[in-house]
Amino acid sequence: MDIFTKLVGTLAVILVVAAFIGGSDVLSKVIKKGRTWKYSVAFGVLGGLFGIYGNISGFNLSGAVVSVRDIGPMLSGFVGGPLGGIIAGLIAGIHRLTLGGLTAHACVVATCCIGLISGFVSLKWHETVKKPYIALLLGIVSEVLHLSIVLIMVKPFEKAYDIVKQIAVPFILINAVGFALMVAIITYIERQKDLVVEKSRMQSELEVATVIQHSLLPTINEGYPGRKELDVSAIMETAKEVGGDFYDAFFVDQNRIAFEIGDVSGKGVPAALFMATAKMTLQNCIRDIPSLSEAVAVANNSLCARNEADMFVTLWMGVLNMQTGDMTFVSAGHNPPILVSDNAPEYLKVKNGFVLAGMEGVKYKENTIKLKKGDILFLYTDGITEANNSSEELFGEERLLECFKDAGNFSAEELLNGVKRSVGDFVGDAPQFDDLTMLCFKIKNFGDENSLVVEATTENLSQVTEFVDAVLEQNDCSPKVQMQIDLAVEEIYVNIANYAYGEKTGKAEISADCQDGVVIVVFRDSGTPYNPLEKEDPDTTLSSEEREIGGLGIFLTKKTMDSVSYEYVNGKNVLTMKKKLQ
């Protein structure tokens, strides 16, 4: 029992040293670079010094120094291979030789052999030795070898046998357990280091994924979308580094802009990847397919066909005509948006369609509303209404609706920041469990102020001219330019009134706007497709009697305007004139 007590005291110091070695960067370099001779020598010296400590802290028993010396060479062999093991064995053995005694020479041979054996075993089966029971077995075999060498080399045999009999059990057990514990400590610390490195690598990759995910979303700032008719703002805050929420705003054509917000089931990287797929699929379908409901149905089938992860997407999507204020929209299992009209907020609730990617062949209902100046539409994901505080109480729809009282006095960005602030105050210190995503747009100016719709008759020419002149005067147009524009407006409008609809009657829509010192006047009619710009210019060198009738008015229009263009879009003739105001 006394032998056990003395050896265990030394073992405690051994474990401290093992923890130091395991926690050092040097060991990490050895494992990464392999057992180069420099590191093997370094660990051989370290193990030798440890063996010397074992000698010093040991005790004398009938001419034998009983200690934990062998753990030093065993550790050096495990870390530094055969070279490290033999160096540690020689250092510890030579020091043991200086202490003298009956077993001195036998201990030198045994210590060197143990260092070599540990080194060769670790060299060939390093990962296997990391297993605690294998390390314990290697330690037992090493110490049995040590005592066997003592029995062989020490004379008289009876004396050697008497020493071995007294120390065998504690000597073998303490050294073997000590070596196994050292291996376990070093292995554990190395695994922790690997986990830290892996966590750091994953964190870096997640940060890159976050940047990529946000780059997939439109950058909505003060100048977005480059049209003064709308004030648009958006916010997305993910619960993890990356999430499954998304929003989008993009032009379908010159006068129609699409808004969408979606929420993918799940969190993290899988949801983010599916989000990117859903967003791109929807955008392509909306641009390629005229019918919104059909476009969403095609997108749903496409997502179902590539949905091995069995994820789904809730979606609200609308397409706004910025000339008329008409918006068509589809809701696929998503939260109802808030519509603020005449400063009265309410939920725009309709019958929800089935979620996207949930089932093929689903039909979606297309709804229509007409927006006007000052109207606000707020889109969001359920991370807003389902945000809960420490009492597990939900933020809810009523609190969200309260955020839009007097909404007409605020910009879209101010409204989103107000909602974010209200949710934050409500949640307090409770953790964020879901992504928070919002998209808001406010109608600033279109329809009744920027365009005029009249019966396409010559009697309404004065009304059209007055409408255009009002825009020109508001923007300080020079008298000369105003006269040129008035003549061009008269020419184009009279042509529509006389020829667009033949004997039938129809509508003419005229819009006028000024952007960056340039007035833009656009004529639209649903009459017979006709491009007046294709008509050959008249020969102005001929006299009026010699020239063919017609074509002079459009010729003068092209000459006096800075640019005149024509296109046939959605069943309408669209002619656009541009002229600098000064």
User: Tokens in use for 501?
Assistant: 């609809």
How confident is the model over 349-402, as pLDDT tens digits?
Answer: 898 999 999 899 999 999 999 898 889 999 999 989 998 988 889 999 999 999
For tokens 């990117």, the residue is: 276
Instruction: State the pLDDT at residue 446.
Output: 61
> What's the residue count for the chain?
582
Inter-axis angle of helices 461-474 and 479-495, nearest 10: 150
What single letter denotes the amino acid at residue 424? G
DSSP labels, 254-293: SSEEEEEEEEESS-HHHHHHHHHHHHHHHHHHHHH-S-HH
User: Tokens in use for 476?
Assistant: 């300080």
Short-list 303, 319, 309, 306, CA closest to 355:
303
Residue spans of the chain under pLDDT 70: 1-35, 202-217, 221-223, 226, 239-243, 432, 445-450, 537-551
Task: Tell me, rounded to whole angstroms, the distance of Cα 544 from its chain centroid.
Answer: 70
User: Tokens in use for 431?
Assistant: 């953790």
Q: How many CB atoms lie within 10 A of CB 499?
A: 14
Instruction: State the pLDDT at residue 17.
Output: 58
> Is residue 189 within 8 Å of 23, Cβ to Cβ?
yes
How confident is the model over 481-536, as pLDDT tens digits?
Answer: 999 999 999 999 999 999 999 888 899 999 888 887 899 999 999 999 989 888 77
How far apart CA 443 and CA 439 sit, in angstroms, is: 14
Instruction: State the pLDDT at residue 216.
Output: 64
Across 301-327, b (16+ Cβ under 10 Å) vs e yields: bbbbeebeeebbbbbbbbbbbbbbbeb
What value, to the nearest 5°, has the Cα angle with vertex 570 and ends 569 and 573? Answer: 45
Sign of the CA dihedral running 302, 306, 309, 310: positive
How far apart CA 339 and CA 327 sit, in angstroms, is: 12
CB-based burial of residue 387 (10 Å sphere; 0-12 exposed, 13-18 middle, 19+ buried)?
buried
Short-list 74, 65, 150, CA closest to 112:
74
> Is residue 332 within 8 Å of 353, Cβ to Cβ?
yes
How far apart CA 246 and CA 275 sit, in angstroms, is: 7
For tokens 């017609």, the residue is: 550
Domains of the chain: 2-194 (1.10.1760), 217-443 (3.60.40.10), 451-580 (3.30.565.10)
How far apart CA 523 and CA 39 sit, in angstroms, is: 84
Question: From residue 298, how far is each of 148, 152, 363 by CA, in Å?
Answer: 81, 87, 9
Antiparallel, parallel or unpaired: β 256-264 and 245-251: antiparallel
